Amino acid sequence: MQMLGGRLGVTVWPGQKKQHDSEAAKKKPQLLLKLPVEEAGRTSILSHMANRWVPILIAAILLAGGMAGGAPLDGPRPNVVLIYTDDHDLNEVACYGGKVLSPHMDGLARDGMKFTRFYVASAVCSPSRFNVLTGRYASRSLRFQRNCPPGSPVNIGWEPGVYGEQNTLAHILQKNGYRTGMVGKWHQGAAGPPPKFGPEDDPNDSAVKKRLQQSYELLLRSIRETGFDYAASAYHGNVDDGAKGPGKPGNLPVPLRVHNMEWVTAGALEFIEQNANRPFFLYLAPTLVHGPSPLASLTKADPRATSLGFLDKAPQVQPSRQSVLERVKAAGVAPAQAGVTWLDDGVGAVLDKLAKLGLAERTLVLLAGDNGNVAKFTCYDGGALMPFLARWPGKIRPGSVCDKLTANIDLAPTILEVCGIKPPAEAAFDGQNIWPALQGNAAYQRASLMLEITTERAIVSEDGFKYLAVRYKPAVLEQMAKGVKFNHWCQPMDQSTHSYNAEKNYPAYWDADQLYDLRQDPQEQKNLAAQPSQKERLEKMKALLRQYSAGLPHSFGEFKP
């Protein structure tokens, strides 16, 4: 594979489970099976039983847990591949009912587990990625708190990021012997701002090439400082970030503001090949299916175009772009959904590589979306309820479905659990270990979950209700009293550059208090907050929001003055 320059640019909540001890994990491989509290005594029995009884006991435990197999007692520690897609709605995966062509993502569901109630704690690019890479709420971001001091009311937008954090998931894995790699969209802050490029900047010009190289090296250094040993095929953010319209100055020259799934896939495959003989964690963050139009990139863009400049040769690591269009047409899928198949081809290439290297049986593959596009930047399910698929042959039952309440803040503690690593106390995860849910353990429960974005907070309950609170800053309320309408991130509606049409799709958008029965009203069209029959439920959910708010840095209306 010939690349440019001959190389590839390279407050714990109640009930949270304890993790395995990392030192013990280093000395001796462990059974990575997390038992319910009442069965904890069995682990001590296992450690003292004669070897001939161990297989019998393991089989009994696995059957009781309702899973196909447990994590290996002996042998190497598992690898983890986390694929975090961009602006990826539920209906953009066929196994969730979407009219798209996504055979490899569907295969993850067929060979593993599909989750139906998986939420992102903050439904927009940067804070959602902070959730995943730290296991914490985005309002805890140190980068965010520098601009929004604790105790003040906040509007959570794109600011939270992991750059500057000391206890990211990657840091913890790295310190415990894992090789860590990141490819794709970063969007988590850097050591400095990327340079701007105007429409006059030609990527073939030597001076522009030099600036691109400097920008790319700044990005890779920033990623490595956040706990990743390997960084390649990376973008600062969206491919058209910084540009306030077509042809305007942005973070990349105009011809490079396109998606290149093949380049991102190539970086992932290189990392897997390099680390086939050691435990690794790969964070693969494609730029798809976020805008600009994936279809335009498929049909019009130079396949050599990357954030580093033009490659010497386009990567040949997945089916051709022309074949994407042909397969989509043959399947009767709308051309606008071709980006999903392009993304899916990259997923397939990664799965094929794992299989060819003999790594599939000891690799946990997770795929989730960062936020939905239907109600992005809100706590509505159209933005926060996401596809989540998990595959681990022999450990996760094929074709299983989990309807338990889970979230992206759960991924970090779960990955550490699977890898047999005890997180440092200062990691202070907000999420919880969902390995029991992945095992199919019916006893796994989560009573509630909090969501936060812009001036919204929401509580989702296990029994299928959602309470959503909108609390504007006092200055905004004064303007609203004069008849000026603001969206939830405090921009006047007539000046907003991002609406995502939530105010059109949700009738109660401007109601301060909203209550929905998601079982009967999954589209959140009927606000039940004013109904007398729901008064007790509403008060209970408000009390839950008070409890969550008390443990977070900033104020939020009457819930944390």
CATH code of the domain in which 185 resides: 3.40.720.10
Asked whether the predicted pLDDT for residue 368 surpasses 80, the reply is: yes
Q: Output 47 or 340, whichever has higher pLDDT.
A: 340
Residues 28 and 44 in one domain: yes
Q: Report helix, strand or coil for 445.
A: coil
Q: pLDDT band at residue 362, thresholds of 50, 70 and 90?
A: very high
Asked if residue 3 belongs to a domain, the reply is no
Domain tally, the chain: 3
Q: Output 257 or 33, whichever has higher pLDDT.
A: 257
Asked if residue 71 belongs to a domain, the reply is no
Residue 25, pLDDT score: 36
Asked whether the predicted pLDDT for residue 184 surpasses 60, the reply is: yes
Residue 17, pLDDT score: 37
Asked if residue 534 belongs to a domain, the reply is yes
Q: pLDDT band at residue 158, thresholds of 50, 70 and 90?
A: confident
Q: Which of 449, 465, 484 is the last residue of a domain?
A: 449
Span 386-409, average pLDDT: 98
Asked if residue 73 belongs to a domain, the reply is no
pLDDT digits (tens, 9 = 90+) for 234-251: 999 999 987 777 778 999
Say which CATH number the domain at 485 has. Answer: 3.30.1120
Query: What is the per-residue DSSP string for 21-44?
Result: PHHHHHHS--------GGGTHHHH
Q: pLDDT band at residue 51, thresholds of 50, 70 and 90?
A: very low
Span 469-480, average pLDDT: 83
Residue 160, pLDDT score: 87
Asked whether the predicted pLDDT for residue 5 surpasses 70, the reply is: no
Residues 426 and 506 in one domain: no
DSSP H helices, 226-276, are 261-274
Q: Which of 449, 470, 497 is the last residue of a domain?
A: 449
Residues 296 and 323 in one domain: yes
Residue 40, pLDDT score: 30
Residues 329 and 468 in one domain: no
Q: pLDDT band at residue 19, thresholds of 50, 70 and 90?
A: very low
Asked whether the predicted pLDDT for residue 52 surpasses 50, the reply is: no
Residue 499, pLDDT score: 59
Asked whether the predicted pLDDT for residue 479 surpasses 90, the reply is: no
* Cα–Cα dist 233/308, whole Å: 8
87: left (phi over 0), alpha (psi -120 to 50) or beta: left
Lowest mean pLDDT across 49-53, 86-90, 503-507, 535-539: 49-53
Span 38-55, average pLDDT: 32
Residue 496, pLDDT score: 58
Domain, as residue range, for 541:
455-559
Residue 476, pLDDT score: 78
Residue 328, pLDDT score: 99
Q: pLDDT band at residue 288, thresholds of 50, 70 and 90?
A: very high
Residue 43, pLDDT score: 32
Q: Residue 115 corresponds to which amino acid?
A: F
Residues 203 and 263 in one domain: yes
Asked if residue 72 belongs to a domain, the reply is no
Residues 404 and 440 in one domain: yes
Asked if residue 9 belongs to a domain, the reply is no
Span 205-221, average pLDDT: 97
Residues 127 and 193 in one domain: yes
- Using alpha carbons only, what angle is made at residue 167 by residues 240 and 144, rounded to the nearest 5 degrees? 50
Asked if residue 1 belongs to a domain, the reply is no
* Cα–Cα dist 448/465, whole Å: 10
Instruction: Count Cβ atoms within 10 A of the Cβ of residue 146 and give its class: 0-12 exposed, 13-18 middle, 19 or more buried.
Output: exposed
Residues 210 and 255 in one domain: yes
pTM of this prediction? Answer: 0.86
Query: What is the per-residue DSSP string for 77-104?
Result: PPEEEEEEESS--GGGSGGGT-SS--HH
- Using alpha carbons only, what angle is made at residue 449 by residues 445 and 451, rounded to the nearest 5 degrees? 160
Handedness of CA 360, 340, 180, 317 (dihedral sign): positive
Contact predicate 136/449, CB 8 Å: no
Residue 450, pLDDT score: 99
Asked if residue 43 belongs to a domain, the reply is yes
Asked whether the predicted pLDDT for residue 515 surpasses 70, the reply is: yes
Residue that has been written with the tokens 């049409």 in this structure: 501
Residues 497 and 414 in one domain: no
Residues 199 and 151 in one domain: yes
Beginning with the edge strand found earlier in the chain, give each strand of the sheet holding 465-470 in spatial order: 448-453, 456-461, 465-470, 513-517
Q: Which long-range contacts (CB under 8 A, 24 or more apart) does 350-358 make?
A: 350/81, 350/83, 350/265, 350/268, 350/269, 350/272, 350/284, 351/104, 351/107, 353/269, 353/272, 353/273, 354/81, 354/272, 357/272, 357/273, 357/276
Q: Which of 13, 33, 65 is the last residue of a domain?
A: 65
Q: How many CB atoms lie within 10 A of CB 312?
A: 11
Q: Which residues pair with 389 in a beta bridge?
A: 114, 367
Asked whether the predicted pLDDT for residue 401 surpasses 80, the reply is: yes
Residue 103 in tokens? 């055979």
Residues 445 and 524 in one domain: no
DSSP H helices, 312-419, are 321-330, 338-356, 381-384, 411-418
Asked whether the predicted pLDDT for residue 437 surpasses 80, the reply is: yes
Residue 494, pLDDT score: 62
Which percentage of the chain shows pLDDT scores above 70?
Answer: 85
Q: Report helix, strand or coil for 203.
A: coil
Residues 372 and 272 in one domain: yes
